[in-house]
Structure 1
Amino acid sequence: MDKHSKGFPISHVVGFFMSLVLTLGAAWIALQSSLSVKAVMWFIGSLAIVQAAIQLYMFMHINEGGNKVVNNINILYSAFLAVVIVAGSIWVMTSGHSH
Structure 2
Amino acid sequence: MADHISSSGEGHGSVGSYLTGFVLAVILTVAAFGLVMSHAMSPSATGGAIALLAVVQIVVHLIYFLHMNGSSEQRWNVMAFTFTVLSVLVLVAGTMFIMHDTSINMMSR
**What's the TM-score bracket when you normalise by the shorter of the two chains?**
0.7 to 0.9
Give the TM-score normalised by the residue count of structure 2. Answer: 0.69
Look up the match of 2:9. Answer: none
Question: Of 9, 33, 47, which residue of structure 1 is paired with 2:15?
Answer: 9
> 2:81 is paired with a residue of what secondary structure?
helix
User: Structure 2, unaligned stretches of length 5 or more?
Assistant: 7-11
Q: Please tell me whether residue 79 in structure 1 is matched to residue 81 in structure 2.
A: no
> 2:69 is paired with a residue of what secondary structure?
coil
Aligned sequence identity (%): 25
Q: Which of these two proteins has the greater Rg computed from alpha carbons?
A: 2
Look up the match of 1:43. Answer: 49
Look up the match of 1:59. Answer: 65
Give the TM-score normalised by the residue count of structure 1. Answer: 0.74
The total of aligned residue pairs comes to 97
Q: Please tell me whether residue 22 in structure 1 is matched to residue 28 in structure 2.
A: yes
CA distance in 2 between counterparts of 1:21 and 1:79 reads 25
Q: 38-47 or 57-66: which moved more?
A: 57-66
Deviation of 1:43 (Å): 0.6
Deviation of 1:88 (Å): 3.3
User: Structure 1, unaligned stretches of length 5 or more?
Assistant: none
Amino acid in structure 2 at the alignment position of 1:83: L
